[in-house]
């Protein structure tokens, strides 16, 4: 897979900056190369390579009002010793919360941007979170070892992924028996988020996870602008 596809599958949510003047300038999307027809044509194309600048957007306290991070973390049903993957972790908005929820466990924070991985590593040290490990992933591979995690959290990211079927299989393989993937994304009526043509209905995400061998359904947890789809490994 080419570097362009990897960038096209960027696992950090561009949509967090929608409507916020603090967001940095948005570069033009890169076209998919020839031969990529099997990839999701409506996937959001963007890159995020200046972590300090994006941290002003991703970690803006105003985000809490619509993201409801405590409700999202509670929906995961974590115990203190679990291993959790924060896929597309960006600057660590959820990573630090997950790390505090699993004090005797581990958080694997993945991102395809090297500068985000650098920032995550430095943030974990700065905030005294030794149970955080940042991992450089790719656009088609979450880089999680098979059977290594209890939970996977994917927030504001699924609509960025080009080959969702392949990616879902990678996440499913990383789960331990009984483990879960939780995908948080935007409703069609959300006041935040990407343009409507890039939004995915929960039924589509459920189908992605079921095709990867997971039992999937919409979580009962209610969020202002989003839904959570949970896939469980039997």
Q: Residue 139 has what pLDDT?
A: 87
Is the dihedral angle over the CA atoms 133, 27, 58, 232 positive or is it negative? negative
CA angle 157, 92, 113 (to 5 degrees): 60
Alpha helices in the chain (DSSP H): 3-8, 51-58, 64-67, 69-75, 95-101, 114-126, 164-174, 202-211
Kindly give the confidence (pLDDT) of every residue in the chain, 234 residues in length, as a single tens digit, with 9 standing for 90 and above: 433 333 333 333 333 433 333 333 333 333 332 223 233 444 454 456 678 776 777 889 999 999 999 999 999 999 999 999 999 999 999 999 999 999 999 999 999 999 999 999 999 999 999 999 999 999 889 999 999 999 999 999 999 999 999 999 999 999 999 999 999 999 999 998 999 999 999 999 999 999 999 999 999 999 999 999 999 999
Find, among 229, 211, 112, 202, the residue nearest to 168 by Cα: 211
Asked if residues 7 and 133 have their Cβ atoms less than 8 Å apart, the reply is no
User: Domains in the chain, start-ordered, CATH in brackets?
Assistant: 3-232 (3.40.50.150)
Asked if residue 158 lies in contact with residue 164, where contact means CB atoms within 8 angstroms, the answer is: yes
pLDDT at 47: 56
- Kind and range of the H or E element at 153? strand 149-155
State the pLDDT at residue 11: 38
pTM of the model: 0.80
């Amino acid at each position: 897979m080419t570097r362009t596809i990897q960038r096209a599958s960027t696992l950090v949510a561009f949509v967090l900056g929608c409507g916020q003047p603090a967001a940095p300038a948005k570069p033009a999307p890169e076209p998919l190369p020839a031969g990529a027809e099997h990839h999701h044509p409506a996937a959001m194309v963007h890159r995020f390579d200046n972590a300090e600048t994006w941290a002003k957007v991703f970690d803006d306290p105003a985000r809490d009002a619509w993201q409801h991070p405590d409700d999202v973390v509670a929906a995961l049903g974590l115990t203190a010793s679990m291993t959790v993957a924060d896929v597309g972790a960006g600057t660590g908005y959820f990573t630090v919360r997950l790390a505090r929820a699993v004090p005797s466990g581990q958080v694997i924070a993945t991102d395809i941007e090297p500068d985000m991985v650098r920032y995550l590593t430095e943030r974990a040290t700065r905030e005294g979170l030794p149970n955080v490990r940042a991992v450089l992933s790719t656009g088609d591979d979450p880089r999680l070892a098979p059977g290594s995690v209890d939970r996977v959290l994917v927030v504001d990211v699924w609509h960025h992924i080009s080959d969702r079927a392949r990616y879902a299989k990678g996440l499913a393989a990383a789960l331990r028996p009984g483990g879960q993937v939780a995908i948080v994304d935007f409703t069609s009526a959300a006041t935040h988020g990407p343009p409507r043509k890039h939004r995915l209905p929960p039924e589509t995400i459920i189908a992605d996870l079921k095709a990867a061998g997971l039992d999937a359904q919409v979580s009962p947890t209610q969020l202002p602008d989003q839904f959570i789809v949970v896939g469980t490994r039997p």
